[in-house]
Amino acid sequence: MRTIGAVIFEGFEMLDYFGPLQMFKNFPEDFRILAVSETMAPVRCSGGPEVVPDRCFADGAEYDLLLVPGGMGTRKEAGNTAMLSWLRQAAGHAGIVMSVCTGSALLARAGVLDGLPATSNKRAFDWVRSQSDKVDWQERARWVEAGKVFTSSGVSAGLDMSLAVLARLLGREAAGNAALWAEYLPNLDPDNDPFSLSGET
């Protein structure tokens, strides 16, 4: 049984978060999903309802997988030292680190992506890039795998990235079943990025 520490903060993007978690929740004997926040107060996602944390940073718990969503809330969290120091520590322990969309900006600010290739939302790329010049930012990628660190493109790209993580941890059949149960046609190629704004083809 692996634990997933799935971070929430005010203004996180709902599909960034609940898309990947939808894929992992199909395997309750393999993964335990825990919403982790700075405090135990409910936090409101961008444009939607409040979500209640299961754990807070001060618990000192460690997680086997880490999930960091994006959303407009990342603009504030990028300057939140409590968030950044927790992410650095949690990512150091975790066997798999995942971000969706502008969640990679937080990992970059925390130093987790130093020296690694990584990607992010295409429409916030300039802001994300400005958060760290130690990251090899990839403008054309559905998601990027760099050892234990998976960063995905915007919003729905987290669905495809999470299936790649499932394939690595539980095998391709399990990942295929997760997609099937969600009636989702996955993009299986991390280099197939229909939303890149770069001029390359």
CA–CA separation, 78 vs 83, rounded Å?
8
Nearest approach in angstroms of CB 115 to a second copy is 26
Residue type, 38: E
With a CB cutoff of 8 Å and minimum separation 6, the contacts of 187 are: 142, 157, 160
- Under the criterion CB under 8 A, does residue 127 sit at the interface with a second copy? no
Of 55 and 88, the one with the shorter C-beta distance to a second copy is 55
Of 106 and 159, the one with the shorter C-beta distance to a second copy is 159
Q: Beta strand 65-68 with 96-99: parallel, antiparallel or unpaired?
A: parallel
Of 115 and 194, the one with the shorter C-beta distance to a second copy is 194
Q: Which helix (H) or strand (E) holds 122?
A: none
Scan residues 130-159 and list those touching a second copy (CB under 8 A).
Answer: 153-157, 159
CA–CA separation, 35 vs 103, rounded Å?
15
- Under the criterion CB under 8 A, does residue 180 sit at the interface with a second copy? yes
Q: Phi and psi dihedrals of 171, rounded to 5?
A: 105, 160
- Under the criterion CB under 8 A, does residue 17 sit at the interface with a second copy? yes
Q: Phi and psi dihedrals of 2, rounded to 5?
A: -105, 145
Nearest approach in angstroms of CB 162 to a second copy is 11
Instruction: Pick the binder of a second copy from 126, 194, 199, 201 (CB under 8 A).
Output: 194
Nearest approach in angstroms of CB 148 to a second copy is 23
CA–CA separation, 150 vs 164, rounded Å?
9
Of 46 and 92, the one with the shorter C-beta distance to a second copy is 46
- Under the criterion CB under 8 A, does residue 94 sit at the interface with a second copy? no
Selected range binding a second copy among 76-84, 85-93, 109-117, 184-192, rule: CB under 8 A: 184-192
Neighbours of 177 (CB within 10 A): 16
CA angle 124, 125, 128 (to 5 degrees): 90
Interacting residue ranges for a second copy, rule: CB under 8 A? 6, 8, 13-15, 17-19, 21-22, 24-26, 28, 33-35, 42, 45-54, 121-123, 153-157, 159, 180-185, 187, 194-195
